[in-house]
Structure 1
Amino acid sequence: MQNILDRERDEMEVVVNYLFSHNFLLKEFEREKYQLAVRNKDIIKRYLQVIGWDFIVDEKHGCIVIASPHYEHRLKLKKDETIWLLVLRLIYEEKRSSLSISQYPFTTLQEIKGKYETFRLIFVTKTKLRELVQMGKQNQLLRPIDNDIELDDCRFQLFHSCIHVLQQGDLNVLYERIKSYSEGGDQIEMDEETTIN
């Protein structure tokens, strides 16, 4: 740490604080912070290891993630939040296979609703939809392209950070997880842990 300039040390402090408050650092939004973190990834990784946090640099997708292995630092999701994230992750996985790595998948509200119908899940209320979209925006998982998020043709851009939330593996695992909610109805209360802190 002594080898780096004071200015760069100050910049790294900004990057680490940003990661603690956002969990994700996407090249798409924060190019300078991202490049600084990649340049100094060994230093940042060692620092975070001291306090027990994981530092994941996914250069392939332009995404940096920090995560606590301790559950008390992870967000406990409600059932509807977990289902929403699983559905987004499923759509992301289905679409990204046909895109280049640098491209982000797009979806529509109608497509999201269609996934809920496929799994015989009741779609969320308009109020809850706004909350879920806001949660996705705050955590850099998605961006609404159109203004009215309640319209079926509203488009959403899905970011590569989706890979690192509710890490589930392949599509079959995602299908099974979502299916378990439709079969369990309201009796399954979620205590899902996610990398969102």
Structure 2
Amino acid sequence: MEMEIFKESQVQKEKFRAAANKLLNSCFIVKKKEDTRNDYIFIIQNKEFFVEYFDLLGYKIEINENQGVVALTNINGTGRLRLKKIESILLLILRLLYIEKRKELSLTEDVVVLTDEIHQKYSMLKIEAKSNLDKTTLRDAIRLFKRYNILTNIDRDVTLSDARIKIYPSVLFAVPNDNLNSIYEAINEKLNKYAMGSESSDDEEADQD
């Protein structure tokens, strides 16, 4: 049976297809992100159709209106993005910075960090295998997280110490947790484990699909 949304106008069909494709490609749709804001609003207005559609494909769609994020996960746990260890560390650092900055800002203000702040957090870990975060690794990680609508760089050269990076609330959903304090503690614990060298695996699974 044809879904009701596909019985609507051609414009509605195209809006649905565009939003659905963005979710499949990026895993996150963010209200605060300019090029996905309209998709976010459309999904909110037609959430029952999106839930039904993605359920047929084996996906679960999570809509968090407080954070302004729509997240997509695979019901069967397949198709997970495998992150390199260094990428996992940087993702944890970005979450930590987001939570710290968020406490100082109103809900309407964007969370913006400097590349130097990322380097400072990384240096605190004192990782023997890779004591310094090189430009190529940082640039590649930023490009990857940007693809998944977790952040965007305001300045072109992200390797400069004063380069600004805007972090979106979708960073909180990479590993879901309902309590910000719990997330903060979990990240610190994870970072401490890395610093102590107790994480032996070179690769980890991220919760993006």
TM-score with structure 1 length normalisation? 0.90
Calculate the aligned-residue CA RMSD, in Å: 1.9
The code of the aligned residue for 2:101 comes to: K
CA distance in 1, matches of 2:98, 2:39: 25
Q: Mark the runs of 5 or more structure 2 residues left unpaired by the alignment.
A: none
Q: Which residue of 2 aligns with 1:59?
A: 65
Alignment of structure 1 residues 113-128 onto 2, 5 Å: 113-121=119-127, 122-128=131-137
Secondary structure in 1 matching 2:191: helix
The code of the aligned residue for 1:9 comes to: K
CA distance in 2, matches of 1:133, 1:32: 24
1:91 matched to 2:93: no
CA distance in 1, matches of 2:189, 2:41: 37
Q: Which residue of 2 aligns with 1:193?
A: 206
Q: Closer, same or farther in 2 for the Cα pair 1:187/1:31, shift >3 Å?
A: closer
On the 8 A contact 1:80/1:124 being kept in 2, the answer is: no
Cα deviation for residue 115 of structure 1 reads: 0.7
CA distance in 2, matches of 1:170, 1:160: 13
Greater displacement, 164-173 / 136-145: 164-173
CA distance in 1, matches of 2:151, 2:176: 17
Q: Which residue of 2 aligns with 1:103?
A: 109
Counterpart among 46, 56, 69 of residue 52 in structure 2: 46
CA distance in 1, matches of 2:205, 2:194: 12
CA distance in 2, matches of 1:141, 1:36: 20
Q: Which residue of 2 aligns with 1:6?
A: 9
The code of the aligned residue for 1:14 comes to: A
On the 8 A contact 1:26/1:62 being kept in 2, the answer is: yes
Percent same amino acid among aligned pairs? 27
CA distance in 2, matches of 1:127, 1:31: 31
Secondary structure in 2 matching 1:170: helix
Secondary structure in 2 matching 1:157: strand
CA distance in 1, matches of 2:4, 2:123: 57
1:35 matched to 2:38: no
On the 8 A contact 2:62/2:71 being kept in 1, the answer is: yes
Greater displacement, 61-70 / 87-96: 61-70
Instruction: Work out the number of aligned pairs and report it.
Output: 196
Cα deviation for residue 170 of structure 1 reads: 2.1
Greater displacement, 61-70 / 84-93: 61-70
Q: Mark the runs of 5 or more structure 1 residues left unpaired by the alignment.
A: none
Cα deviation for residue 186 of structure 1 reads: 7.3
